[in-house]
């Protein structure tokens, strides 16, 4: 990347930058600069091979350097700018690592009159309580956050290069303004340091009188580790950011007052709530660092591009699951076309093979299922592992509750955290016996109650097609009628496919009724393309100028087309062409061209009809002029990830004003989408949504943890690339 990298201040951070830049071969030469009193440290740095050479004269140090990193304490920044000013080069890129950014910008303004456009302020959120080059580490920045705080006039090429530089050092880059950086860091770094110093200051004096440290152990050590940090450095940081820190100290005093009051008034209930909330909040913080078990896949998306051409996205996930389930229970041989060959649907397929059903394929989306009849399933020898698939687990729990054998349903980490009481509770009313964890999550231990289930008339508290389908499948084995009423229309693929297999189901308004009187007769199934997968392209083409795309053979069941309705309300141009009915499901080709979008209040009745499409709709909202508001969508919090929080966090990292609410989000659209590193939290739809955001970003976006795209859309990366997005898939 560079010919000569000059590190000003070769301490812990500067030395670590030099070491990892060398490891990554990012510069032909790496030199250091320091003051006369730093001579010993610089000599050590050279001896250790951290730098190739060092200089005590700034002119010599920066001569011919194309990248200059200022890695000195925050208080020295103004003096350094003054020193650098006579040698400032338009050809070089300058950056710093200061832990406060407002003061760096203010110092640059004072020295240069205006902040130079080739200075890119940055801050790696990495460090240790040690200092000096000996403490430097070549992997100090690996998987650590790094914040860049450019100004509106910062040169884009300089910004891009610094972003790439840090990404090559392994950092997770975010871009935000300096004010936001300083207020976040005041809360999460500066305040904790002040607290640690304050506590040790107070207890240190007590110790002098009564030797209390002798009896201090792990808790004290953990809490006060950061009080071992360099006092001068922290004095400087606190001074530089005092405007953000002082109000936080006030808030903390209020929190301590609250706890004091709770204790004084014996309000242990509230005390517990406070501690319990903090405990969960800390877990949320820790979860970010969890390394995924499987190989980690990263999507690197270059900014810009447009989507053009024709595509057929893979088969519908919901229908693929149901084709296996009903095909297996049918009498006769069922042929399926357009089956989704992705992990979720394959998990269902494997579960039925485990229960003795012969299934050939899939080959090019074609399957042959040799149905065993309604009472032909066999006890599985092992637990049924359903991977990431909520649909498999919830629908199977209903089907297996009435079998003459016991079964255990397990899933991956995400599925094992999702609520299952929504199915086990109504199933229990039918006489089912299913044990969950205390939290109401998988594994599910199902005791088969063949012949003992009783029909119920159930009104669902939430609009869920999975709960409805689960109860209908249980109802096929229950005495009497089983009726499910939904508070709002949800996808009706189960009902349609049951009818397609000649099984009687009665629909009266929002109530659907089934009995055990009936049998399934094998029928061929043609699964259309999944509108939930098409949604990424509907949004991508709508937001990227110059796009023109035809999506073929997409399922447009009216319980699934909320995404089209919402995008049209926002001003999208989507034509529905060549409408037809295939195997009982409406299908069409969708023609979408770029159109400027505007923000809207999303009508609540559309929420269940677009429930899986909100992650990418949030991206559309970020590109739309004005405000978009979503409410009534609390279900999003219990999908494969908490899709409200995860999307708000990621959009914020990309510089979008997105505020999560309890049941939705408020997005101020129309601004710039920046670059940065976001994580999908292992959620396929989040990974694909942030990739699509790249079409309108002004810098590269890195999406971590994308292996789960395989659960619904393994072809995504190749398809989106062939249509015009510059996406590269890497493995860690």
In sequence order, the 6+-apart residues with CB closer than 8 A to the CB of 401 are: 427, 430, 432, 433, 434, 446, 448, 449, 453, 474, 477
State yes or no: is 589 an active-site residue. no
Is residue 635 at the binding interface for ligand S3P, with CB under 6 A as the rule?
Answer: yes
Smallest gap from Cβ 685 to ligand S3P, in A, equals 9
∠555-557-559 over CA atoms, to 5°? 130
In sequence order, the 6+-apart residues with CB closer than 8 A to the CB of 460 are: 426, 467, 468, 484, 485, 486, 487
**Which member of 38, 354, 526, 612 is catalytic?**
612
Positions in 603-632 near ligand S3P (CB under 6 A): 611-612
Q: Is 24:4 a contact under the CB 8 Å cutoff?
A: no
Taking residues 278 to 317 in sequence order and writing x for each that binds ligand S3P by CB under 6 A, - otherwise, the string is ----------------------------------------
Q: Where are the beta strands (DSSP E) in 450-505?
A: 457-459, 482-485
Q: Is 483:458 a contact under the CB 8 Å cutoff?
A: yes
CA–CA distance, 714 with 25 (Å, rounded to integer): 33
Is residue 466 at the binding interface for ligand S3P, with CB under 6 A as the rule?
Answer: yes
Region near ligand S3P per CB under 6 A, out of 107-115, 137-145, 259-267, 458-466: 458-466
Query: DSSP secondary structure string, 660-710?
Result: EETTEEEEEESS-B--EEEE-TT-HHHHHHHHHHGGGBSS-EEEE--GGGG
Positions in 486-505 near ligand S3P (CB under 6 A): 490-491
If the CB atoms of residues 383 and 635 are measured against ligand S3P, the closer one turns out to be 635
CA–CA distance, 703 with 690 (Å, rounded to integer): 7
CA–CA distance, 365 with 319 (Å, rounded to integer): 13
The residues pairing with 336 across neighbouring beta strands, listed in sequence order, are 367, 525
What is the pairing mode between strands 333-337 and 525-526?
A: parallel
Spatial CA neighbour of 401 closest among 452, 356, 443: 452
CA–CA distance, 647 with 194 (Å, rounded to integer): 32
Taking residues 361 to 400 in sequence order and writing x for each that binds ligand S3P by CB under 6 A, - otherwise, the string is ------------------------------x---------
Nearest residue by C-beta to ligand S3P? 318
Q: Is 366 helix (H, G, I), strand (E, B) or coil?
A: strand
Smallest gap from Cβ 351 to ligand S3P, in A, equals 15
Q: Could you count the other beta carbons within 10 Å of the beta carbon of residue 545?
A: 11
If the CB atoms of residues 173 and 554 are measured against ligand S3P, the closer one turns out to be 554
Q: How many residues bind ligand S3P (CB under 6 A)?
A: 11
Smallest gap from Cβ 422 to ligand S3P, in A, equals 8
* Strand (E) or helix (H) holding 175: strand 172-175
Is residue 464 at the binding interface for ligand S3P, with CB under 6 A as the rule?
Answer: yes
Smallest gap from Cβ 653 to ligand S3P, in A, equals 25
Selected binder of ligand S3P within 320, 388, 407, 469 (CB under 6 A) = 469
Is residue 320 at the binding interface for ligand S3P, with CB under 6 A as the rule?
Answer: no
Smallest gap from Cβ 489 to ligand S3P, in A, equals 12
If the CB atoms of residues 132 and 714 are measured against ligand S3P, the closer one turns out to be 714
If the CB atoms of residues 527 and 611 are measured against ligand S3P, the closer one turns out to be 611
Q: Is 88 helix (H, G, I), strand (E, B) or coil?
A: coil
Q: Is 16 helix (H, G, I), strand (E, B) or coil?
A: helix
In sequence order, the 6+-apart residues with CB closer than 8 A to the CB of 235 are: none
Smallest gap from Cβ 342 to ligand S3P, in A, equals 12
Is residue 708 at the binding interface for ligand S3P, with CB under 6 A as the rule?
Answer: no
Selected binder of ligand S3P within 465, 592, 693, 707 (CB under 6 A) = 465
Region near ligand S3P per CB under 6 A, out of 232-240, 294-302, 465-473, 515-523: 465-473
Is residue 334 at the binding interface for ligand S3P, with CB under 6 A as the rule?
Answer: no
Smallest gap from Cβ 317 to ligand S3P, in A, equals 7
CA–CA distance, 663 with 630 (Å, rounded to integer): 8
Smallest gap from Cβ 539 to ligand S3P, in A, equals 17
Give the rounded distance of the alpha carbon of 473 from its chain centre. Answer: 33
If the CB atoms of residues 154 and 464 are measured against ligand S3P, the closer one turns out to be 464
Where does this chain bind ligand S3P (CB under 6 A)?
A: 318, 391, 464-466, 469, 490-491, 611-612, 635
Report the catalytic residues: 612
């Amino acid at each position: 990347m560079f010919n000569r990298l000059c590190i000003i201040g070769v301490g812990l951070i500067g030395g670590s930058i030099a070491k990892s830049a060398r490891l990554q071969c990012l510069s032909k030469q790496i030199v250091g600069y320091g003051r006369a009193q730093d001579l010993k440290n610089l000599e050590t740095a050279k001896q250790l091979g951290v730098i190739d050479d060092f200089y005590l004269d700034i002119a010599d140090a920066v001569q011919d350097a194309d990248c200059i990193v200022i890695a000195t304490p925050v208080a020295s920044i103004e003096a350094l700018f003054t020193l650098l000013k006579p040698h400032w080069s338009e050809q070089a890129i300058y950056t710093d690592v200061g832990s406060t950014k407002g003061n760096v910008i203010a110092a640059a303004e004072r020295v240069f009159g205006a902040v130079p456009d080739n200075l890119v302020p940055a801050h790696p959120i990495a460090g240790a309580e040690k200092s000096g080059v000996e403490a430097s580490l070549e992997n100090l920045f690996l998987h650590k956050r790094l914040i860049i705080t450019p100004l509106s006039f910062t040169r884009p090429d300089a910004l891009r290069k610094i972003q790439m530089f840090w990404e090559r050092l392994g950092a997770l880059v975010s871009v935000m303004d300096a004010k936001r950086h300083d207020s976040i860091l005041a809360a999460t770094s500066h305040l904790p340091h002040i607290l640690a110093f304050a506590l040790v200051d107070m207890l240190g004096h007590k110790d002098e009188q009564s030797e209390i440290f002798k009896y201090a152990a792990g808790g004290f050590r953990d809490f006060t580790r950061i009080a071992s940090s360099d006092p001068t450095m922290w004095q400087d940081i606190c001074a530089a950011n005092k405007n953000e820190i002082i109000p936080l100290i006030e808030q903390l005093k209020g929190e301590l007052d609250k706890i004091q009051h709770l204790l004084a008034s014996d309000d242990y209930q509230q005390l517990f709530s406070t501690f319990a909330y903090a405990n969960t909040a800390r877990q949320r913080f820790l979860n970010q660092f969890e390394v995924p078990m499987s190989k980690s896949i990263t999507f690197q998306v270059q900014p810009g591009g447009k989507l053009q051409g024709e595509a057929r996205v893979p088969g519908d996930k919901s229908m693929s699951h149901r084709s296996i389930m009903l095909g297996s229970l049918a009498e006769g041989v069922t042929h399926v076309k357009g089956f989704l060959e992705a992990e979720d649907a394959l998990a269902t397929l494997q579960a039925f093979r485990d229960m003795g059903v012969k299934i050939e394929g899939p080959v090019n989306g074609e399957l042959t299922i040799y149905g065993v009849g309604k009472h032909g399933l066999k006890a599985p020898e092992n637990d049924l592992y359903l991977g990431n698939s909520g649909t498999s687990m919830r629908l199977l729990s209903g089907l297996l509750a009435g079998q003459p054998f016991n079964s255990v349903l397990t899933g991956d980490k995400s599925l094992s955290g999702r609520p299952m009481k929504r199915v086990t509770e109504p199933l229990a009313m039918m006489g089912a016996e299913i044990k969950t964890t205390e939290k109401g999550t998988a594994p599910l231990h199902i005791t088969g109650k063949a012949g003992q289930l009783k029909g119920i008339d159930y009104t669902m508290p939430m609009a869920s097609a999975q709960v409805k389908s689960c109860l209908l499948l249980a109802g096929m084995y229950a005495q009497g009628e089983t009726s499910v009423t939904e508070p709002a229309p949800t996808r009706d693929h189960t009902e349609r496919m049951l009818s397609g297999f000649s099984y009687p189901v009665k629909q009266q308004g929002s109530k659907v009724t089934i009995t055990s009187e009936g049998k399934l007769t094998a029928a061929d199934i043609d699964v259309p393309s999944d509108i939930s997968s098409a949604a990424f392209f509907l949004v991508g083409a709508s937001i990227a100028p110059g796009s023109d795309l035809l999506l073929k053979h997409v399922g447009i069941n009216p319980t699934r087309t909320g995404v089209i309705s919402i995008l049209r309300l926002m001003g999208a141009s989507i034509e529905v062409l060549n409408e037809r009915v295939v195997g009982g499901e409406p299908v069409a080709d969708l023609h979408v061209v770029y159109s400027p979008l505007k923000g809207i209040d999303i009508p609540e009745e559309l929420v269940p009809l677009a429930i899986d499409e909100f992650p990418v709709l949030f991206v559309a909202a970020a590109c739309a002029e004005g405000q978009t508001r979503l409410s009534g969508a609390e279900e999003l919090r219990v999908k494969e990830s908490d899709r409200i929080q995860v999307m708000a966090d990621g959009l914020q990292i990309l510089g979008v004003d997105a505020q999560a609410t309890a049941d939705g989000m408020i997005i101020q659209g129309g601004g710039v989408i920046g670059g940065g590193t976001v994580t999908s939290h292992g959620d396929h739809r989040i990974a694909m949504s942030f990739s699509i955001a790249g079409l309108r970003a002004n810098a590269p976006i890195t999406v971590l943890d994308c292996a789960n795209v395989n659960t619904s859309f393994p072809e995504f990366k190749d398809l989106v690339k062939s249509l015009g997005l510059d996406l590269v898939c890497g493995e860690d």
